[in-house]
Structure 1
């Protein structure tokens, strides 16, 4: 899963996302109280807020309570070593003098691949033995021209048995061709479905990274009450966005490249299997008919073709046995890795997940930023939008009126625990829509000429601030799921549950089909030679010209067998 690596490269894993959150902290809580709030005619006049002249509720908000102490986390539990798919992968290792391999599933270990390749050795050995032995027998037979038929005595029974066996083996070969055709079609579709799922998961990860960078970019221009991000922080955000965009681009490029290669290999493999199934089915049927009709010269052409095709089919059988075992090993390994998240496995080196303590720290920071950002927005809501005439000595008004505007609901309390919104509060997701109803129409001078609590300009800046908090609230848990590999584990769990059983079943069907074709056509080749070379002088019927009558005697019929 390259998604994990790409996400990790955005600011060195957990530290990168933590730094992103710290940047936003510096944006919104650079000081203990905001020095100014925007307002007034055309938004050009600035207002300085005097904390002493505000009521208690406004003072509490403007204080922006400092960040709560981070909860102490228990020491991370010690990881224990776990050999993935240990039982499945115990196979002879050719590189280790045929000792049993005990390293489990590990695609970085050459001994694992050698042990898997050994499972297909039977197909390769049978292919070599068949090619050499049948080639020698066929060569000797063609050179010596020795008939392989039965003697005249008992030939009728022998031919009938031979014909019955030939029909049986031809049917077996045809059945294998059908299984191969059905299996390869289902295997092709299942692989493409699995690939599509993985690509969709990768695209989902890329979209998360892009959304985060978009919200970070918009954070550079956010101003609530004329407070902007300092230029030096802009440079840091640009740098972080560059890293996240680079990670997303690399992930997108690698995903597209890998998916295209896999599709090409699967399509080529499908073509090979279709050609083999078609040729073998045609060979079995025509060979059966030609052997029954006794066309010796034509049948030898089919025998030569079958000799080569059977060798190829044995090789394909060995290859698919390897593929079947490798797929089953991988599915078992993924399932065990999902079930034992604290284990140190071969997948842990390929997918270096961030430890639990780091992800908890990052999540804590994101929650604190969301809480402080909501506090900052509520300053503008209470101190500007809902300000009354009693504070005319503090604020410049833009003729706001109407029902008080609901404040923004913080999803977390002061201890960063989840909290429910109060009836007079509006959630982060609904705030932009609800606040639009409190927006007034403004004159050229920037004053409200209709009922409303905020001008369109203030509404725009408040919405931007809410969107930034929504980005952290919504996307930080998803980024954390990439850090601690929860996202990858969920992906693996879906693959092992929904895709692996079908893939293994389809691979077994292809292997069984290839085995039936190989054995069926192999036995057919032997019987073709025997049946095509049966004695032709033992036909039941003879031409009418061969019938002769004895003179001056009773009519009798004699079948001339000398011809």
Structure 2
């Protein structure tokens, strides 16, 4: 069962052709990154308040301007509240210096403010009521922000995993090229050898660059979410600590520390309004993202993501995969055609691909009397004489020598390596990895993202409103007490 030289060269040339085609399919893969687009029309404040119509593009500064501007309600109220605080502080400073006159060496207070004895209210009941409300709002904000951070971080990790999976597949392809170089070095020309080597290096460099950029973006995004979470937790924690202390100073009428805490709580209220606007924007951003992922899932080849996730271009590379399948099917056909001289009688090689032109990969459809390509070496072991000096081996046509066996084993392993990575390469070309990742985000994380971002901004808004009333009412209460105690005019 000796193998002819023509058959050996035929196998070698087919493997080389496959090796040269393979990089064409992998070259399109490395452009898959975590970018998305959607059709959103919003006011762009830095473009003369014109409508932004460029779609959901995270690389476009005008998109970010328009979506961040959706939180203008919180930003505006925060700025107004800060301005009011500055005006009130300035007013109190003026009153402090102007509320005293000298009469014969005595300081006499001029009652310019807060002479409202009829609007007296209980400070203890006020303090308890606001502390309870602030505790409830703080719990809502903490639960919402922590869960939103978790869902956002998980979604980012899922998208990053696309690049990791693509990297693994491309590196597997380059390892196959390396094996081809190593095992066929003596059978291919120096030009082909150089081309294989340079192609493998380019593939590795390209995919490593994509992975590095993806992980850098992941760290940036996660750091941004972490900063937002830390600021949110810090503010609600400060509120929980400052409000009771503030109330104690107000009840006990310790005016100097009381006014320090007025300023502190006023500033924390400003930050609460800003956080409200931030999470309002994050809800809109999450909604945009999930909408565009839904559109991508329905039509991955013609949507707003086509410019950043080139599924249509990847699909065009499917013809290269079909050439690989056609090459392997041709090898199987030639082997089965000469089964008597290549395989034991009655044994045929299984073609793992369907009939042309589809060439669908279906290794599980092998007939009972066929063997898989990977099983060829094990089968031929029983028909191989590994001792070249044995006269029986030299005289029998039913046995092959060790050299022929090693050659068949080498070619078989190379073809099987290509088959092993064929399904994953097919997934990349059909954008299945991206579709699966986006489907997971849509099913498991989109609703929680919207839910917890909304829960957070509602909780922060409630907390900010409570803080506004809390600071204002306590200031009125302090003003009343100053009206009743003329000696306390000076702060």
Smaller-chain TM-score bracket: 0.7 to 0.9
Distance 1:471 1:426, change over 3 A: same
Distance 1:406 1:329, change over 3 A: same
Matched, 1:116 2:64: no
Distance 1:90 1:264, change over 3 A: closer
- How do residues 450-529 of structure 1 correspond to structure 2 at under 5 angstroms? 458-529=404-475
Distance 1:480 1:502, change over 3 A: same
Residue 26 of structure 2 corresponds to none
Q: Tell me how far apart the structure 1 counterparts of residues 235 and 403 of structure 2 sit (CA, whole Å).
A: 71
**Match of residue 262, structure 1, among 211, 215, 221:** 221
Q: Deviations over 1:495-548 (max 9, x none)?
A: 22222222222222322232222222121111122233444999xxxxxxxxxx
1:487 Cα deviation after fit: 2.8
Distance 1:151 1:112, change over 3 A: closer
Residue 135 of structure 1 corresponds to 86
Distance 1:447 1:483, change over 3 A: farther
Residue 324 of structure 2 corresponds to 366
- How do residues 291-306 of structure 1 correspond to structure 2 at under 5 angstroms? 291-306=250-265
Q: Tell me how far apart the structure 1 counterparts of residues 390 and 308 of structure 2 sit (CA, whole Å).
A: 59
Give yes or no for contact 1:317–1:514 (8 Å, CA) kept in 2: yes
Q: Tell me how far apart the structure 2 counterparts of residues 489 and 172 of structure 1 sit (CA, whole Å).
A: 45
Q: Deviations over 1:264-287 (max 9, x none)?
A: 333333322222121111112222
Name the SS of the counterpart of 1:220 in structure 2.
helix
Name the SS of the counterpart of 1:258 in structure 2.
helix
Residue 234 of structure 2 corresponds to 275
Distance 1:427 1:351, change over 3 A: same
Report which stretch shifted further, 99-108 or 503-512: 99-108
Matched, 1:178 2:129: no
Distance 1:133 1:408, change over 3 A: same
- How do residues 375-394 of structure 1 correspond to structure 2 at under 5 angstroms? 375=333, 382-384=340-342, 386=344
Give yes or no for contact 1:363–1:477 (8 Å, CA) kept in 2: no
Q: Deviations over 1:239-267 (max 9, x none)?
A: 22122111222123223322233333333
Q: Tell me how far apart the structure 1 counterparts of residues 75 and 320 of structure 2 sit (CA, whole Å).
A: 54
- How do residues 117-516 of structure 1 correspond to structure 2 at under 5 angstroms? 117-144=68-95, 151-152=116-117, 154=118, 158-160=120-122, 164=125, 166-222=127-183, 228-345=187-304, 347-355=305-313, 358-375=316-333, 382-384=340-342, 386=344, 406-412=347-353, 415-416=356-357, 417=359, 420-428=365-373, 430-431=375-376, 434-435=378-379, 438=382, 442-443=386-387, 445=389, 458-516=404-462
Give the TM-score normalised by structure 2.
0.76
Q: Deviations over 1:442-470 (max 9, x none)?
A: 33747889x99666655544343233323
Give yes or no for contact 1:373–1:469 (8 Å, CA) kept in 2: no
Q: Which runs of 5+ in 2 are unaligned?
A: 18-35, 97-110, 485-491
Report which stretch shifted further, 265-274 or 323-332: 265-274
Give yes or no for contact 1:327–1:504 (8 Å, CA) kept in 2: yes
1:234 Cα deviation after fit: 1.6
Distance 1:143 1:445, change over 3 A: farther
Give yes or no for contact 1:216–1:468 (8 Å, CA) kept in 2: no
Q: Deviations over 1:357-405 (max 9, x none)?
A: 733422321211221333466689742564xxxxxxxxxxxxxxxxx69
Give the TM-score normalised by structure 1.
0.68
Q: Which has the higher helix share?
A: 2
Q: Tell me how far apart the structure 2 counterparts of residues 303 and 385 of structure 1 sit (CA, whole Å).
A: 92
Aligned length: 440
Of structures 1 and 2, the larger Rg is shown by 1
